[in-house]
Structure 1
Amino acid sequence: MAAPSLATVLRNLFVVLGCGITATVVYTIATDGLPFRKQLLTPWMAATLVDFYINILVIGAWIIYKESNWIRAIIWIVFLVCLGSITTCGYIVLQFFKLTPQESMQDPIYFVLLKKDGTESKGKLSVVGARVLFTVLGCLMLGTLIYTIAIDGSPFRQQLFTPWFSATLVDFYVTVFALLVYLNANSSILQLYFLTSGLGGIQRIKLGKCSSLDHFVYLPWQCDDVRVPCATTIPPLPARSRISYCFQ
């Protein structure tokens, strides 16, 4: 019996994760009511929400990049803000279902990440804007973490883990897992910067020479031997070709 393809494994995994977080939210509402209560917004809950929505912003930027129709992109973003990783899992599963059999067998992560129409995103301003934005967000999260520790102490206390705080953590780590799927394909340098410096670490990548955000999506496909200038238009690749971009 043939082993399941990577596309099938990832698709089924995100289906399970989506069902899991949906069940978690439904159970928490049933046992603890709705989350829109002031007493739930403790300092560490607020810090977790800031961290969560920074990650959601990354997923949202990818959705905007993927969707050529702005109305459809806005609808997805609204669902993403309201439902968090439930939407994340649903969107990723949908992208896997859109793969052709050939794409699924070659390199499903590559084809899920990239636009189907092959068009590039909007010029250098998007890259400069992303670099500045993620630097600010990284600093914001670091400041939030330091401030919360200063006023509320360590988060490793049992009384903090209310039903909704626990559900938020589950939601948060499902989104983190989705981001790690991308990082797993990426270079060790990017992983190091991302994990040690948070989202602000993206600023350390040399995005300034790239013509668009498409080049950032291509970062996982790199090689020590082949180096293509970032200003070069990137052709569709039939499979993972391990070409290095933006690390000049």
Structure 2
Amino acid sequence: MAKISLAIGLRTLFTALGSLMVATLIYTIFKDGLPFRKELLTPWMAATLIDFYINVAALAIWVAYKESNWISSILWIILLIGLGSIATCAYIVLQFSKLSSEESLRDPMYYVLLKHPNKNDDEVGQKRKQHSFVVTLRILFTVLGSFMLGTLLYTLITDGSPFRMELLTPWMTATLIDFYINVVALAVWVAYKECSWISAVFWIVLLISFGSITTCVYIVWKLFQITCQDPVYLILVRRCGERAENKYNSISGEAT
């Protein structure tokens, strides 16, 4: 029952957060007009947008993995880029809504995070693809994290501290809300993955404080905890107790 309550709780949470972002977006458009104005693109707004879209890149890779075809993957990624956390919340709520009662009872986060095995999939081909992604993702998120760190340092040096009231324009506020709703999604994943609440809280505090720099460090760290021969999906789920790959394979057996 506790796990079913978790599924309902998370679905409710992301429904509420998505609704909050929709309301924020509508309010900001009415109050401050459209965001496509050059004067809004201050150095700190540009840095915040880079931070935002690096997190979106992490979420987009998960969506591309989850979707069964490239058309739906591309559609959802376009929505993530265009609508930000509204699309994130909609996608997560949709994934929780697809769970059966049995999946909600067994491990809702596991079934939401992982692509359900398809009996028509070429298992060897799928594993080869997943293996080839491990090194690619290590490099990608190392580059993205380094780029964000460089952006942060450059903006601090050239434009000073971000903690100034004049920077908190209506669109900056809306962008920060958008950014932190995506951080909530990533924090839920981190809390699920970590085997202790101490490490979970530690990483969530870093996510809140350093944004996508922490996202990239965390993903790269988890990627280095698996070998290049391991399937990349193992970084999505916790590895306490039963090996995640064995559990996934048992689900695959049920699907066939």
Q: TM-score, normalised by structure 1?
A: 0.85
Q: What is the distance in 2 between the residues matched to 1:3 and 1:132?
A: 36
Tell me the SS of whatever aligns to 1:36: coil
Contact 1:137/1:200 (<8 A) preserved:
yes
Task: Give the CA deviation at 1:157.
Answer: 0.5
* Higher percent of residues as helix: 2
- Cα distance in structure 2, aligned partners of 1:3 and 1:130: 31
Question: Which 4+ runs in 1 deviate beyond 4 A?
Answer: 118-121, 188-194
Q: Counterpart of 1:209 in 2: which secondary structure?
A: coil
Residue 199 of structure 1 corresponds to 215
Alignment map for 1:166-205 (pairs within 5 Å): 166-187=173-194, 195=206, 198-201=214-217, 202-204=219-221, 205=224
1:191-237 per-residue CA deviation (whole Å, 9 max, x = no partner) reads 7578386233232333343432212123x1423xx668x7x794246
- Distance, in Å, in 1 between the alignment partners of 2:67 and 2:170 is 35
SS of structure 2 residue aligned to 1:16: helix
CA distance in 2, matches of 1:233, 1:10: 23
C-alpha distance 227-198 of structure 1, shift in aligned 2 (>3 A):
same
Q: What is the aligned partner in structure 1 of residue 240 from structure 2?
A: 222
1:14-66: per-residue Cα shift (whole Å, max 9, x none)?
Answer: 00000000100011001100000000000000000000000000110000000
User: 1:65, 1:38 → 2: CA distance?
Assistant: 35
Using the TM superposition, name which of 204-213 and 162-171 deviates more: 204-213
Partner residue, 1:127: 134
Q: Deviations over 1:123-182 (max 9, x none)?
A: 322111111000011101110100000011111110000000000000000000000110
What is residue 164 of structure 1 aligned with on the other side?
171
Please, which runs of 5 or more residues in structure 2 have no aligned partner? none
Please identify, of 198-207 and 148-157, the stretch whose mean Cα deviation from structure 2 is larger. Answer: 198-207
Letter in 2 for 1:106: R
1:90 aligns with 90
| RMSD (CA atoms) | 2.6
Number of aligned residues: 232
Does structure 1 retain, via aligned residues, the 8 Å contact 2:3–2:105?
no
Structure 2: how far apart are the matches of 1:191 and 1:227? 24
Task: Classify the secondary structure of the residue corresponding to 1:51.
Answer: helix
Aligned partner of 1:32 in structure 2 is 32
Q: Which runs of 5+ in 1 are unaligned?
A: 239-248
Which amino acid in the other structure matches residue 150 of structure 1? I
Larger relative contact order (Cα-Cα within 8 Å, sequence gap ≥ 6): 2
Aligned to 2:63: 63
Give the Cα separation in 2 of the matches to 1:89 and 1:117: 24
Summarize the Cα distance change of 1:3–1:116 in structure 2 as closer, same or farther, 3 Å threshold: closer
Q: Residue 211 of structure 1: which of 207, 230, 248 is its match?
A: 230
State percent identity of aligned pairs. Answer: 49
- Write the distance in 1 (CA, Å) between the matches of 2:39 and 2:14: 32
